[in-house]
Amino acid sequence: MNTTEKVIFEQFSYWEKAIGVNQSGDRSKLLVFVGCGTSFNLALSLAACSNMSGRKAIAVPGAEWANRPSAFWSEWRDTHVVALSRSGETTETVTAAKASRDAGAFVTALTVEPESSLAKNCDQLVSAETHPDEGIVMTVSASLMVLLGLQMIGQHVPGSVVGSARRLADALDHALPGIITDKTHFVFLGSGPLFGIALEGALKLMEMSQIMTQAFHPLEYRHGPISLVDGKTVVVMLYSPDQREAESKLVRELNEKGAIVIGFGGPGDVELAVDDDLSLAGLVVLPALQVLGERAAQARQIDTVFPRHLTKVVKL
């Protein structure tokens, strides 16, 4: 077992420590979640959860918010920027946080590095201890930032999510042998809060295994991208309970075109039950998606401890 795999399966004790960490801020302000890479994907999911709970939010890539905030919003004093960064050192995110503060916004740093530049340039720090052995590929810290972010927007995260997430990761792991060998194209589909999680599943698998991945809102996939589906395709469907019928129909169509489907919370060649509500589902499926990336890498004999062309911190 390599360190990446070890950390994925050992992440749950860190979740337990982070449950109950609560910070919020003025609820009348627009929440702007910013981040890069994985952290941006998580920002998208958190913004959707926030809107669904009645608190207005948007998600913006760090560089866009640093360089062109007026393309999104310009009422700085009515803005609460939540800057997500595992390292707390990513140039675009740190620049975005500093510029936001200078312009009069309230800034929260959501990071696992409490001594980082980001943590030193914020009005509020939301942080938790992460696994000391986490490598370049972000796993446990991604889950922790989602967990902390949900609690920040007022979502109760019950202790039971830890067991749900662990069981789902194990169930996927047991179902995988033979399913993904020789597959060359992975597609991740999810809507609402699960769209950012689909993007994250796609990014994770691509970083770990160097396989071509894509992510879409489920029904968007029929408008063009479906032309790429063949017998080498795996589709990961993150079902939303209120869209299950339409999403199941899409899955049947994808099966007919040769794709293997892994269904989280609905039908597929592999079917995995996801018992938590939509706002928690993204958090619950994250470790399973990390396992999928690791197993896809192993099938190609790629060591995820040294992912090609990647570094833990990206500075400009």
Residues within the interface to ligand F1P (CB under 6 A): 36-39, 85-87, 90, 93, 136, 138, 207, 310, 312, 314
For residue 34, the cross-strand partners are: 60, 83
Shortest Cβ 154–ligand F1P spacing (Å): 23
**Which is nearer to ligand F1P, 81 or 261 (by Cβ)?**
81
CB of 230 vs ligand F1P, minimal distance in Å = 28
In one letter, which amino acid is 94? Answer: V
**Cβ closer to ligand F1P: 45 or 85?**
85
Residue 38 or 243: the one with the smaller Cβ distance to ligand F1P is 38
- Residue number with CB closer to ligand F1P (94 or 236): 94
Tell me the CB-side half-sphere exposure of residue 168, using CA atoms within 13 A.
29
207/294 with CB nearer ligand F1P: 207
Q: Output the smallest distance, CB 39 to ligand F1P, in A.
A: 4
Q: What is the spatial distance between Cα 113 and Cα 90, in angstroms, rounded to a whole number?
A: 12
Query: Under a CB-based contact definition with an 8 Å cutoff, are residues 170 and 287 in contact?
Result: no
**For ligand F1P, which is the closer residue by CB, 11 or 93?**
93
| Least CB distance to ligand F1P at residue 240 (A) | 25
- Which residue number places its CB atom closest to ligand F1P? 37
- Rounded to a whole number of angstroms, the distance between the first and last alpha carbons of the chain is 34
The residue written with tokens 């609905």 in the block is 266
Kindly report the three-state secondary structure assignment for every residue of 207-259.
HHHCCEEEEECHHHHHCCHHHHCCCCEEEEEECCHHHHHHHHHHHHHHHHCCC
Other beta carbons within 10 Å of 50 = 26
Q: Let me know: does 296 contact 234? Beta carbons within 8 Å.
A: no
Q: Which residue has the tokens 């879409």?
A: 216
The residue whose two tokens read 């675009």 is 92
Cα(248)–Cα(254) distance, rounded to whole angstroms? 10
Tell me how far, at minimum, the Cβ of 149 lies from ligand F1P, in Å: 13
Least distance to ligand F1P from the beta carbon of 119, Å? 12
| Beta carbon of residue 88, minimum distance to ligand F1P (angstroms, whole number) | 7
Of 111 and 240, CB closest to ligand F1P: 111
Q: How far is the CB of 223 from ligand F1P (least distance, A)?
A: 28
Q: Which amino acid is at 127?
A: S
* Integer Cα distance of 184 and 189 in angstroms: 17
Q: Which is nearer to ligand F1P, 39 or 108 (CB)?
A: 39
Report whether 144 contacts 12 (CB < 8 A): no
